[in-house]
Structures are given as structure tokens and as C-alpha cells.
Amino acid sequence: MRLIALTDDQLRAGGGLKWGRAPGDVLPADIAELDFAVAPPIRAALSASVDRSALGYPDYEAGAPVRLAELFAERTRRSGGWRPQARAVEICAQITQALCCVILAFTRSGDEVLVHSPTYPPFLEAIRSLGRRPLLLPVGNVGDDAVKAAWAGAERARRLRLILLCQPHNPTGHVFDLATLEALADLAEHRDAVVFTDEIHAEIVYDGTQCPSIASVRGAAARTVLFTSAAKSFNIAGLRCAVGHFGSDELHARFRTLPWHLRSGASALGIAATIAAWESCGSWLDQLREQLSVNRIRLADFMSTFEQVRFTPPAATYLAWIDLRGAGLDFNACDVLLKAGKIALQPGSVFGASLDGFVRLNFGTSEARLEKLLQRFGKALDSGYGKG
Ligand SMILES: Cc1ncc(COP(=O)(O)O)c(C=O)c1O
């Protein structure tokens, strides 16, 4: 089973958001989709479902969904070292959907939701559009001054009801260490807040970094809702399947008070593909990690040649968070790279206010295409375009 890089033509024909939206002369590296063919066991599972016409409503209480819940519990026991109960698992269509449901079930209008900044945009949208208030905490470890200051704000917050974590963090690729998770667990206990942890990127971690889950931290476990999926690591986001775990029966029961159609909806194909990914794609995932590790090192070497660029290689994810403020691009970094370099990156501004000088680059691609991207990136910076 080999990792196969798709050609530009294949990717453009594939209809994904990343390549589908990019004009013909632009190389896209914005949306978090991979430029690799879907792993063979996933393709086989999807074909088998179609061949058997197994495309009716999934029975979430039996068959494949139950197998998926058990698989999640087994994998977590092996890789995470803690013991989730399969009966505490809930299968939804999307993690962001589950987050919206948790916000509705556990908070009220005007309540505060603690979330790290920069923030994955759908998190902010979910919090704000449901009438809750984001309380921003800078990404960093507990000892950092900025974090300490924000912490004091969180401790004073009157209506903090939910702590939202993205572990590992999108867009920075930061992995929160155990001490930080323990501090968040204390805060959650102290404020009697629920914790939601999105661990969709936890399978792509570099250099043996430990990626602990707050769901296993004493004090937080019973108040934590964890969601993950195979969507990012296996590039199957369009199939709609996310797997959640509730740290207590009480949390689970409260989530289930929401209408079924609001909190459910994983597709039969998404469930089949996620089982195939987690059961049979270990060696494919290893190859992906190797390729991404090579890309990450190349990216770090390349960025280090520019004095004006600040870049810390991510500890996890295939996303690079690049600070271009020193290049004089405080207000328009993404625009300049698009116009002068013909590359589409994700603008920092979508991750929070005053972040226009940052860009997020998705390096989940072949070495050859990454090289092209970097050449164009360098050309755009050297062009002087966009400087005041
Ligand atoms: C942190 C994070 N959560 C969730 C998602 C999307 O997952 P879903 O479509 O299941 O909401 C992404 C996609 O990039 C992500 O980066």
C-alpha cells in the first residue's frame, strides 16, 4: 500500500474545496485537504458498500456504528493510554456540529466560552452565531506571561461555562502539554465548566511528541466531551462521520436531550470509511507521517533563510502558521502571496482580529509541489510587492 501523490489535473477534477476554488494559475495550500489519493482500504470499503447497495439509513444502535464505537475505544486504549467506554460514544456527522450541540446543551445565551487564539474559524462562528461570547486565551504553555494574564481574565469571568480545546491546535500546530491540560482541568473544576476537546489532528504528531488528551486528566475526565474523526488524516471530510466520547452518563444524557436530527446524521459511507481507516490503514498513515515530516523540515529550512519571517515548525498537523509581520506585510500578507506569488494560503485574519500579518500554509502535499509553492513564496517576498 503506497502513498500516491495526485497530479494537479486529478486534484482539480476531484471537486474538493481547495483545488476546486483555485484559479488555474494559482497553487492552493489553504484549505486543510491532502493532495494524496485516498488509502486503498478506504476505497475498497466504499466500493463494497456501493456494490452491496448498503446505502440506507444507518442503524446507530447496531452493526457498523457499534463496531466504530468499539474501534474508537480500542484505539484510544492502545494509543492514548486511557479507557473510554464504547457505550459512552456518540457518532455525529461533523465535529463542528457536535460543538454547536454542546454549546446549545450546556450553555445559555450570553455565556462565555474559553477558546484559544488564534482560533479555528468555525469555532468562533459557532460561539458567536449561537449568541455566546468567546473568551480568548493565547496559545502557549501555562508559564507564559500572556497566558497568565489571560488566565486571570478567565478566572474573573462570571459566566464561563465551556472550555473549548483544539488538541493539537489548528492553526499553530501546537500540542498542549500535560501541565497546561491540568491547569485547564483545574479551571474547569473551579468554574464548574464543561470541556470540549477537538482531537481531529491528533494522528499527525512529529518527533515522538506526546499528545495527551484532557479527557484522561483527573478532574476534567467526567466533564469532558471529546470528538475526533478520520477526516483530516485520511482526507475524507466529505463523507461526514465524527466520533465523540462523553466523560459521564450525565453529560451524555444531556447531549441526547437535543433533537436527534440536530446531533446525528453520520453517513453510511462515512462510517464504513472511518472503520476502514482505523482498522486497516496503519501503514498508509505511517507513510503519510513520513512524507509530512520531510515536508516540515524542508519548510523550516526554507523559512529560516528569510530574516523577516518568523516560523516555529508545528509539533503536529500539516498546517504551518507563518508570521510575516517582519516582512512589512502586517495588513495584507495573504493578498501579496496570491497576487505576486500565485499561491493561495489561508489569511491569518480569519483566525482572529489583528492577525492579517500571519498566513497558514497547508504542507500536506508532494515534495515537488511543496518546492513549487516555496519558490513562489520566496518570489513574492522578494518582489517587494505590497510593502508600504
Ligand atoms: C480543528 C478542526 N476541527 C474540525 C474540523 C472539521 O471537522 P468537521 O467537518 O467534522 O467539523 C477541522 C478541519 O480542518 C479542524 O481543523
Q: Whose CA is nearest to atom 14 of ligand 1?
A: 32
292, pLDDT greater than 60? yes
What pLDDT shows up at residue 388? Answer: 56
Q: Is the CB of 231 under 6 A from ligand 1?
A: yes
Same domain, 90 and 21: no
Same domain, 330 and 216: no
Show which of 248, 280, 312 is a domain's final residue: 280
Ligand 1 centre from 26 Cα, in Å?
24
67 within a domain of the structure (yes/no): yes
Q: Whose CA is nearest to atom 10 of ligand 1?
A: 94
- In angstroms, the CA 328 to CA 322 distance is 13
Ligand 1 centre from 44 Cα, in Å?
25
1 within a domain of the structure (yes/no): no
- When pLDDT is cut at 50, 70 and 90, the band that residue 360 belongs to is very high
Same domain, 367 and 323: yes
- When pLDDT is cut at 50, 70 and 90, the band that residue 154 belongs to is confident
119 within a domain of the structure (yes/no): yes
Same domain, 190 and 315: no
190 within a domain of the structure (yes/no): yes
Same domain, 144 and 268: yes
- In angstroms, the CA 71 to CA 271 distance is 11
Query: Do the beta carbons of residue 101 and residue 261 sit within 8 Å?
Result: no
Work out the burial of residue 144: count CB atoms within 10 Å of its CB; fewer than 13 is exposed, 13-18 middle, 19 or more buried.
Answer: middle
CATH code: domain of residue 166: 3.40.640.10
Same domain, 247 and 301: no
* Residue carrying the nine cell digits 491569518: 348
- When pLDDT is cut at 50, 70 and 90, the band that residue 369 belongs to is very high
The SS3 assignment for 140 reads coil
Same domain, 258 and 199: yes
Q: Average pLDDT for residues 31-58, to the nearest whole number?
A: 97
Q: What is the mean pLDDT of the chain?
A: 95
Work out the burial of residue 304: count CB atoms within 10 Å of its CB; fewer than 13 is exposed, 13-18 middle, 19 or more buried.
Answer: exposed
Domains contained in the chain, number? 2
Mutate-to-test residue for ligand 1 from 115, 167, 200, 319, highest number of ligand atoms within 8 A of CB: 200
- When pLDDT is cut at 50, 70 and 90, the band that residue 361 belongs to is very high
- When pLDDT is cut at 50, 70 and 90, the band that residue 387 belongs to is low
Helical H segments across the chain, by residue range: 8-14, 17-21, 40-51, 64-79, 95-106, 121-129, 145-156, 178-191, 249-255, 260-263, 268-280, 282-304, 333-341, 367-382
388 within a domain of the structure (yes/no): no
Query: Do the beta carbons of residue 28 and residue 22 sit within 8 Å?
Result: yes
Same domain, 17 and 132: no
What pLDDT shows up at residue 78? Answer: 92
41 within a domain of the structure (yes/no): no
Q: Whose CA is nearest to atom 2 of ligand 1?
A: 200
DSSP 319: E
Of 136, 32, 214, 321, which Cα lies nearest the Cα of 127?
136
CATH code: domain of residue 288: 3.90.1150.10
- In angstroms, the CA 382 to CA 235 distance is 34
Q: Is the CB of 317 under 6 A from ligand 1?
A: no
323-334 pLDDT tens trace: 999 988 777 899
What is the domain extent for residue 138?
46-280
CA of residue 170 relative to chain centroid, distance: 5
What pLDDT shows up at residue 132? Answer: 98
- In angstroms, the CA 42 to CA 38 distance is 7
What pLDDT shows up at residue 185? Answer: 95
Q: Which three cell numbers stand for residue 206?
A: 512529529
168, pLDDT greater than 70? yes
Show which of 241, 260, 280 is a domain's final residue: 280
Show which of 280, 313, 345 is a domain's final residue: 280
Q: Which three cell numbers stand for residue 167?
A: 488538541
Same domain, 94 and 199: yes
Same domain, 72 and 158: yes
Amino acid letter at 309?
A: V
Same domain, 343 and 374: yes
Same domain, 23 and 88: no
368 within a domain of the structure (yes/no): yes
160 within a domain of the structure (yes/no): yes
Mutate-to-test residue for ligand 1 from 120, 175, 263, highest number of ligand atoms within 8 A of CB: 120
264-291 pLDDT tens trace: 999 999 999 999 999 999 999 999 999 9
